[in-house]
Structure 1
């Protein structure tokens, strides 16, 4: 399961957001820095309306959505790359995730202390990004010296040297490594380093209840900065989300509509995180269950089958495949077959988003 780490300065709403994400999480949300020390981990379902539709077609007894793991990482502060505020421990936690959700405070509240004394999302983002870049810089400099020496007797290591030399000047400027264009070989060479600033990022602009529908001037600032980084922005309200989970399910939609929105920001955040990680969904459906399966974009049919069980990949024969839209339009698998919409795909087939699949394999 792929993991997204929730990061940000202390008291920006990370733990409150995390609690709302997993609903049952036990993360402590309190009004002082370093409330979260050990990272809390929660697994959340990726919302997908297609599951309900397929389950009705197949009369499924159970629906199983795909999931993403979120890690609530303690608040970073200026100097974290030098160990300030338990920074080394927190940076190590970030290194273990696949993507970063950077929570940025975009609300005013005198009752919630800001570590810098005022609300300034751009300053806050730059503090975090600089600390991550400094941590990466130290790692890249150390590795580059060694790689240059090793490359003298091993030309294959020259790819890593080239990649490190591309990344170094960007990090020296305090900018994220993801701004550098790397070849696939260079990316593979740098992967073992787990560079913090090369991880894909989403900025979660945390606003007050009143600004959830429209955003505010701070949100616009975050959007401008994110556009320069080619990053995404999702507007959320930790306050609203914490209230939502206290309401009965039947009352939640009315509450959201009273705020001028159709869904909570967390739904958008979960979807955006899923897409950010380059993930795709295919489905299996039948009387027993309708289930969403997670694959990487570009996976071939045997690899997709292997997500269910390694035996499926080893003994793969073919995949009976129908597009979600075609199955819904015809109303049943039998009707889709009659119209020639169910295809028999072989080992070279690239699985598409929303494919409904049945694998044939030898044991």
Structure 2
């Protein structure tokens, strides 16, 4: 399962700089809103020190990380940039690049720089988020209105299914007309089938990526942690970038979204350094890891994903599953035949394996377990699946 994250934001927010830092690409940077339908795409491995540690032990022919696909689309906010009287939502071509994304990374600029003008002339991430939400809502509204026309025709048959669908679509329409996110509504299990067909952008899990100035990163991380933990932060008493951090963090907490602070400019500069020098510089700034790595980790947490491992002389590999997946489903990530013929799983936690140094020692110590069909895979499990090849 490859996680796909769509990166969106206003022009000059630093989203393409962030994309380049995340993917070590050299995508061209545009300083204005554009109607281009092109997008930057890249698939990158997810850093996982557990894979590296196991590879040191097994010396496999191959080691494979899980991957994330990033999709960076052109700058939004066309109304503000192009002088239109009203926003019209995203074009179908533009929408096509991000409608299948698992989550959205919404880049919000908090840094000031006279050499990098803002399309609204002032720095206000809270306002920028409102603008982006409005454009996403209008895009979804167009999708819902088209579906309403189609469903109305089908409902003439009197089929209860279509009448119920119309009720759902009308609720969505009213919410989106108020420039509210569709995900703020409550839905029944029956509604999900229709929602899955609509690919609404305002239904997608989201993270807010605060693109900060380098010297404010530590302050940003401190504030985000306090608000995430539910501490009482006097937002109105804050000023400048700090106030922007806190406002977005509070919104994220209320929405059940995630938020991470990075300096896209710093990330780009660190990518030019040897790894050892980059790590030393990060340590000097009091940062445990690159913002790019934190964006990926937040994406996993947002989508409730975990990683299990397989290890041997042929390959050490990381695999992604949804938290709560049972052993047969995890086995199916490797091959559908293994899921169909599943017998049981030999499971050792990564920490237990590293403490023992080998599967044989783990089995002898009793920390290698045989688990059945109902076993729920845990993050960091090293699994070997036994299966009936005849099934």
User: TM-score when scaled to structure 1?
Assistant: 0.91
Identify the residue that residue 186 of structure 1 maps to in structure 2.
191
Kindly state the Cα deviation for residue 59 of structure 1 after the two structures are TM-superposed.
4.1
Identify the residue that residue 111 of structure 2 maps to in structure 1.
107
Identify the residue that residue 320 of structure 1 maps to in structure 2.
346
In 2 relative to 1, CA 179–233 (structure 1 residues): closer, same or farther, beyond 3 Å?
same
Across the aligned residues of Structure 1 and Structure 2, the Cα RMSD in angstroms comes to 2.4
Identify the residue that residue 160 of structure 1 maps to in structure 2.
165
Following the alignment from structure 1 to structure 2, what is the Cα–Cα distance between the partners of residues 124 and 357? 45
Indicate the SS of the match to 1:17: helix
Q: Report the more deviating stretch, 65-74 or 280-289.
A: 280-289
- Please list, as runs of the form range in 1=range in 2, the aligned pairs for 1:41-190 lying within 5 A after superposition: 41-79=41-79, 87-147=91-151, 150-151=154-155, 153-157=158-162, 160-190=165-195
Identify the residue that residue 249 of structure 2 maps to in structure 1.
223
Q: Report the more deviating stretch, 149-158 or 39-48.
A: 149-158
Kindly state the Cα deviation for residue 10 of structure 1 after the two structures are TM-superposed.
0.8
Kindly state the Cα deviation for residue 260 of structure 1 after the two structures are TM-superposed.
2.7
Q: Which runs of 5+ in 1 are unaligned?
A: none
Indicate the SS of the match to 1:43: strand
Identify the residue that residue 235 of structure 2 maps to in structure 1.
none
How far does the alpha carbon of each residue in 1:106-129 deviate from its partner, in whole angstroms, 9 at most, with x for none?
Answer: 100011121111111111111110
Following the alignment from structure 1 to structure 2, what is the Cα–Cα distance between the partners of residues 86 and 28? 21
Indicate the SS of the match to 2:219: coil
Following the alignment from structure 1 to structure 2, what is the Cα–Cα distance between the partners of residues 135 and 86? 5
- Please list, as runs of the form range in 1=range in 2, the aligned pairs for 1:346-357 lying within 5 A after superposition: 346-357=372-383
CA contact (8 A) 1:159 1:185 kept: no
User: TM-score when scaled to structure 2?
Assistant: 0.85
Kindly state the Cα deviation for residue 84 of structure 1 after the two structures are TM-superposed.
6.0
CA contact (8 A) 1:163 1:190 kept: no
Kindly state the Cα deviation for residue 360 of structure 1 after the two structures are TM-superposed.
1.5
Match among 205, 208, 216 for residue 200 of structure 1: 205
In 2 relative to 1, CA 39–302 (structure 1 residues): closer, same or farther, beyond 3 Å?
same
CA contact (8 A) 2:88 2:138 kept: no
Q: How many residues align?
A: 362
CA contact (8 A) 1:203 1:232 kept: yes
Kindly state the Cα deviation for residue 88 of structure 1 after the two structures are TM-superposed.
4.2
